[in-house]
Chains A and B, each alone.
Chain A
């Protein structure tokens, strides 16, 4: 892009040219556009996202606080297993009766299980969001979230999900399951420690899967 400055020969008069000091700015512009591109890209993509979780306060040993009672019929227990497996069972664990159902983190896995139980609330939230977009419900944008959390609070049909992790579960599974809760719009979920009954159930399930020839393992 460099200019070829053609010298003008005009006789023998040697006169300094007026106001024609021309600096070739092309390299400078090149460099600057490069730098701008660099800074713009790094500014836009460097921000990671966060996911907020709130755990219930620990009950201290010297305090005499009854843990909250919840109805067995509404509880759904989810156990994070090894190799991205998810086990679930409804109600209360009974070493004689309870059989763990095995599923995974795919769209038809644990999400379908949760959605089946939470359909009423999910529809309500979905309909509410659609109404807001189409303008049927006139609500300020910043109060949409609190309206949804109010919907969740008022819900009394959806499951109460207890999430537990087997010792070989990965951190990724923990994030994934909380993620599923927000995707499906579960109103009430809690993270608790796994107990020995459930640990045995997982070991049984793993043994069963190992004993069965691969392919028909279900």
Chain B
């Protein structure tokens, strides 16, 4: 029997199909990935057993940060052509006699970050590039009865997108009276159905507990 000679060359694997597949997968994941805009204030949400996932579109969120600042966020609607964000900002401007330019509206549409400034500071906030300056401007949306801007944000968001869902994203350690105030404002605007954003946790009830 002749000896089987092993080739000195290392065997080549044809990687083309693998690369093809990888490219496909990569394209798919890149296209489906939705990039979350940077959070303006860190919010640690509480835990619950609810398994309902958050909706993708038609969402307005009231954020309550640890230091009791209120932020407000809306999305552009299920399709980017709808451009809900600039429309809502324009309505807000009309209410407070502030004229927003086309560029400012477009900038507001593109940056999906939550609103944390009083509407009077909005122009300055949009024009500034410096992130430290931006943070300094974010005093939270005013909610006191003298100047309740949050209620107008909610009102216009609901007028422009009637199918909008309300989310409340509160930090676990926020004092409850602040949350109650936000709930009151929402109820004044006839929003009685909310979704609280939470993290998932697991809970089990043992047999003994039932039987006792």
Question: Which residues of A come within 8 Å of B, CB atoms?
Answer: 3-4, 6, 22, 25-26, 28-29, 32-33, 35-36, 39-40, 42-43, 46-58, 80, 107, 111-112, 115-116, 119, 122-123, 126, 165, 167-176, 178-179, 182-184
Contact = CB atoms under 8 A, between A and B. Distances in A.
Interface string B40-56: 00000111111111110
Interface in B38-78: 45-55, 64
B197 A50 contact: yes
B36 interface: yes
A22 B12 contact: yes
A55 B192 CA distance: 5
A3 B8 CA distance: 12
Contacts, number: 161
B193 A54 contact: yes
Interface stretch (B20-28, B92-100, B133-141): B20-28
Contacts of A49: 48, 50-54, 197-200
A169 B173 CA distance: 9
Contacts of B162: none
Contacts of A176: 46, 48
Given A46-B36, A48-B54, A58-B187, 20 more contacts: A28-B19, A29-B19, A36-B26, A42-B33, A48-B198, A49-B51, A50-B55, A50-B197, A51-B198, A54-B193, A55-B183, A116-B212, A122-B210, A165-B176, A165-B180, A170-B175, A170-B176, A171-B46, A171-B172, A171-B173
A187 B175 CA distance: 27
A50 B187 contact: no
Contacts of A52: 50, 52, 193-196
B179 A174 contact: yes
A54 B192 contact: yes
Given A48-B197, A175-B46, A175-B198, A33 B22 contact: yes
Given A50-B50, A175-B196, A179-B49, A170 B25 contact: no
Contacts of B183: 55
Contacts of B209: 107, 111-112, 115
Interface of B: 8-10, 12, 15-16, 18-19, 22-23, 25-26, 29-30, 32-34, 36, 45-55, 64, 167, 170-180, 183, 187-188, 190, 192-200, 203, 205, 209-210, 212
Contact of A51 (B18, B48, B174, B205): B48
Contacts of B25: 36
Given A25-B19, A55-B192, A171-B172, A3 B12 contact: yes
Given A32-B26, A43-B33, A172 B173 contact: yes
Contact of B179 (A26, A171, A178): A171
A58 B188 contact: yes
A175 to B, nearest CB: 4
Contact of A171 (B10, B18, B64): B64
B142 to A, nearest CB: 20
A183 B46 contact: no
Contacts of A116: 212
A106 to B, nearest CB: 11
Contacts of A42: 33
Nearest to A116: B212
Given A32-B22, A36-B22, A172-B46, A183 B52 contact: no
Contact of B199 (A48, A53, A126): A48
A53 B194 contact: yes
B198 A50 contact: yes
A15 B209 CA distance: 85
26 contacts: A26-B15, A29-B15, A29-B18, A43-B32, A49-B51, A50-B53, A50-B54, A51-B198, A52-B50, A52-B196, A56-B192, A58-B188, A111-B209, A115-B205, A126-B210, A165-B180, A170-B172, A170-B174, A171-B171, A171-B172, A171-B178, A172-B46, A172-B173, A175-B46, A175-B47, A179-B203
